A and B are shown apart, each in its own frame.
Chain A
Amino acid sequence: MADPRIVIVGAGPAGTRAAELLVAAGLRPVVIDESPRSGGQIYRRPPPNFTRSHEQLYGTEAGRARAIHATFDAFANKVDYRAETLAWAVKDDRVFVQKAMTVEQIPYDALLLAPGATDRLIPLEGWTRPGCYSLGAAQITLKAQGCAIGQEVVFVGTGPLLYLVAYQYMKAGIAPVAVLDTSSLAQQLRGLPLMVARPEQLIKGAQIVSALRQGGVRVLRGVRPLEVLGDDRSVTGMRFCDAAGHEQELRCTAVGMGYHLRAESQLADLAGCSFEFHPTVRQWLPVIDEMGRSSIRNVYLAGDGVRILGADGAEVAGRLAAIALLSDLGWPIDQAKVRSLQAEMRRHVRFASGIAKAFPWPHEQVAAIPDRTLICRCEAITAGELRASVKDLFSPEVNRAKAFSRVGMGRCQGRFCGPASQEVVAAANGAPIQSAGRIRGQAPVKPLPIGITEETSRG
């Protein structure tokens, strides 16, 4: 193919590394990015008039962040970069995009999706109170706005991001009240043999926990969060059960919560990609080969939007997917380079499986969400209403339950209730989690403004 039309969705670590290789091969891909500036979320760039250094913004990852930003900037005029643009559907080899009040269809010969991830959440009594944010939100507020989400913050959930964000808040001058981890120390030790695949990450993690303790931050493991306390004006505290089974309350004005990430796999779904269930993370993810080829001939998947491996893993995945794409279009490939990237990839996969073991998604806590708790933030639907769609209306899986209860049908389209909804539906049916399925992607994958107009299609 002489001049193939290639579209990349996402300009984070995976999208940047993929675009870099395509540009090096002499191609000019379209790069669609929802943000105003490239970098993605973990290396998110603040507005141009902010002055903090990469070291202040990204800490130990400053070098990697700088490299990703510099790489993108170096080829920015060699790609068709579409900032502040949402890819909202994929159909018939076209990506449908929206920018401000216009939509456009972009036809492609090959599509590389690197849309990233969002926080994976467990609904908690009181989680809609003003002052309660996702962990990602707490981090973005600090990085991209120079603000903390509150004066007295409790971080709750599990996973590396829980500790990292708490540490970043402490370094920025607001030491959190506490870090409440649902994973126990025993579970964390069980993940060690796999996590040694990336010893440098393991050491960083240990240093962060020890710095938090030295900074006077309470770090409690094996907790069961019970309620975000407060009134309709604000968060006032956090109630939880500690590892010994005693109920405790902490005063705070803000809560940051999150349990790892969930892949933004909706566009892959709309492109027709097959999915498979991954028991280690209890998520349905698109099927890929070891290069990042999906089940659809000209669709390639990379980064946290297909496997949650973090930013370093996303860089490797972006490179592999771009090599696969080039190879399928007839470009020669460097087999030695592919083998070395695949070896690196296996190390990331091994480390990620250790993380999943060490900081498990506490599915038994999810299944036991009280009936009165709002599971759907968008439309204020309770876990009890979702259970009724199973018990009274016999929904065997989440899409039927969604039709009856509207859980997953609101404006977030299941991003924040979906993973919990799967656990609640499966438990209410007394069936394994796989049987509850996954909420299917629907176009538009995010709400579009009313009154948009279509630009002339380019093909």
Chain B
Amino acid sequence: MQARFVRLAEQERRPIVLSVDGVAVDAMEGDVLLTVLMLHRGFARISEFGDGPRAGFCMMGACQDCWVWTGSGDRLRACSTAAAEGMDIHTSAPEGLWPIPA
């Protein structure tokens, strides 16, 4: 996909590397996961209701439209979770968790 956010300031922070859908991506200490996703991936998750990708909406933990998952299956709100070195983030739920297949 594509870069969406544009960095305008605060670019002198310590670099970190984390994994998004198995791909190593560069970020900076202090970035939240949604920022990392919007700089590298262009979306946060795919709607379970068949209407395409979502990229977050409210950035303040209210809309729940930026849910992502860790490799071990924990669900995170990307807009309010700080990115950290070595994180393993997935834009789709690990197999067997959610959505529950019909």
Contacts and interface: CB of A to CB of B under 8 A. Distances in A.
A140 B9 contact: no
Interface in A133-150: 133-134, 136-138, 140-142, 144-150
Contacts of A378: 64-65
B59 A134 contact: yes
Given A50-B10, A148-B6, A118 B58 contact: yes
B interface secondary structure, majority: loop
Interface string B43-63: 100010111111111111111
A146 B58 contact: no
Interface string B73-88: 0110001101000000
A380 B11 contact: no
Contacts of B54: 128, 130, 377
Contact of A145 (B31, B47, B60, B62): B31
B60 to A, nearest CB: 6
Interface stretch (A62-70, A301-309, A409-417): A409-417
Given A52-B10, A141-B35, A150-B4, A134 B51 contact: no
Interface string B1-43: 1101111111111100000000000000111100100110011
Contacts of B53: 130, 232-233
B41 to A, nearest CB: 10
A171 to B, nearest CB: 10
A51 interface: yes
Contacts of B52: 128-129, 232
A131 B4 contact: yes
Interface of B: 1-2, 4-14, 29-32, 35, 38-39, 42-43, 47, 49-65, 74-75, 79-80, 82
Given A174-B8, A415-B63, A449-B74, A234 B42 contact: yes
Contacts of B43: 130
A52 B9 contact: yes
Contact of B75 (A129, A150, A449): A449
Interface stretch (A41-49, A197-205, A358-366): A41-49
Given A128-B47, A130-B43, A130-B53, A416 B58 contact: yes
A contact residues, range: 35 or more
Contact of A411 (B12, B13, B64): B64
Nearest to B74: A449
Nearest to A101: B74
Interface string A24-58: 00000000001110000100001111111000100
Nearest to B52: A232
A136 B58 contact: yes
Contact of B2 (A136, A174, A234, A447): A234
A147 B10 CA distance: 9
Contacts of A136: 58-60
A140 B59 contact: yes
A379 interface: yes
A148 B63 contact: no
Interface in A112-163: 118-119, 128-134, 136-138, 140-142, 144-151
Given A49-B30, A51-B10, A118-B62, A132 B57 contact: yes
